[in-house]
Amino acid sequence: MAEIDSLEALLARVMRLVATQGDEPAGDGAAAMTLTEGVVLVELLGAGEVTQAQLSARLRVDKSRMSRVCSSLERKGLVARERDERNRRNLVVRITGEGTTAAKRLRETWRERHERMLGAMTAEERQGLMLGLRALARELDGFHPPQEAI
């Protein structure tokens, strides 16, 4: 039982540390964005143009929260939204040129940060982390928490 308690405390600590990393600028001169905004922007970089509902489902974020996130990104000039011509009830979200630049910079910042963290570990620690993260991802893929997860 003590092992589970220490794993739970460590996981909670890591989650807090990750959450506090989210409100940093994406890079030099970039507008500050929340972790959720960054995740949405990077998702759009790969996805291209999607409906707001599709984006919400992909990232498991509540539709109303996704609407607020997209509104914030739109105010910052990083995304554009318009009504879907095929179904006027849907909003299509697409990344702007400025958003593409910010998303690429953010993705690079994340990659560099991950390289530093992983580089500070031994090969054995990296293997253990990989094994543990695979198990955690498998478990989280089957878990459907309230949609305010991100």
pLDDT digit string, tens, across residues 88-112: 788 899 999 999 999 999 999 888 9
The model's pTM is 0.74
Q: From residue 59, give the alpha-carbon distance in Å to each of 47, 52, 107, 126, 133.
A: 12, 11, 17, 26, 18
**What Å distances lie between residue 36 and 86, 89, 119, CA to CA?**
28, 24, 26
Q: What is the pLDDT along the chain (150 residues), one digit of tens a residue?
A: 566 668 788 878 877 777 666 545 544 445 678 888 999 999 999 888 899 999 999 988 899 999 999 999 999 999 999 987 887 788 899 999 999 999 999 999 888 988 998 899 999 999 999 998 888 888 877 765 555 545
